[in-house]
Amino acid sequence: MIQIIGSPISPYVKKVLTLLILKGVEFEVDPITPFYGDDRFSKLSPLRRVPVFIDGDLVLNDSSVIAQYIEETWPSPPSLPGDPAMRAHVRWMEEYSDSHIGDAFIWKGFAAMIVAPFVFKTEPDVEAFKENVANNIPPIMDYLESVVPEEGFFGGVFGVADISIAAMFRNMYYTKWAPDAERWPKTCAWLARAEAEPSLALANKWSDALLTVPAPERRKLAAEIGLRLTPETVMQKTPRRGPMTQIG
């Protein structure tokens, strides 16, 4: 049984879970927030980040590495196009999402406004968030508007690029921000198509539900909403920062 450590609230965890759902692979989840991971979590994830992917003796930490492993191990249905040029473009979009969109949407957006006050009990910097929305996000949206497909999905198949990018938007929704459909119509239309895909819709349903309760209560709720849990958890009661924590 595949095990995933990390909550589907994380867009990086959501990417992996959505791919597993898409491919019909069964899995168990320990839906922790990484800041609550114990010493066992540190051994599994030296940067104290999620997701952690466990397949027998194999432990993987980076969502893109995990996505590639999933694609190679369970190739059907594909999450990458067959054409080498299109496949390279899809991988670029995944990297752009994980790094650049993630910085603006997650670290300077969701983490600053949601994680910092609720996990580390620090006041959110509302002015910094507004500056991020005003200055950092519009160039991202303009770029997406120039590259998203008019119809369908990146590379012609719903897959890793669509999932990676769409998952980022969900976390910004939680901060009460949403893209302007008049300013970025192609991107908003593509996003609606991606979020309507059953695999991503289910992962979004899980994250929406789990966000309604504090991190220590999410394991119980995860079981109630249909997630199969790992036999044990690596969660502790008090939060701690990791080597790459950028908030708090």
Assess whether 64 and 166 both reside in one domain: no
Q: Is residue 242 part of a domain?
A: no
Q: What is the pTM of this model?
A: 0.96
**In terms of domains, do 41 and 117 share one?**
no
pLDDT at 248 over 50: no
Tally the C-alpha atoms within 13 A of residue 104's C-alpha that lie toward its C-beta: 19
DSSP helix, strand, coil percent of the chain (3-state; round to 5):
60, 5, 35
183 and 91 fall within a common domain: yes
Would you state the pLDDT for residue 172?
98
Q: What is the pLDDT of residues 151-194, one digit of tens each?
A: 999 999 999 999 999 999 999 999 999 999 999 999 999 999 99
What pLDDT score does 99 carry? 97
Whole domain around residue 209: which residue ranges? 2-78+203-224
Q: What CATH number has the domain bearing residue 146?
A: 1.20.1050.10
Which CATH number do you get for residue 207? 3.40.30.10
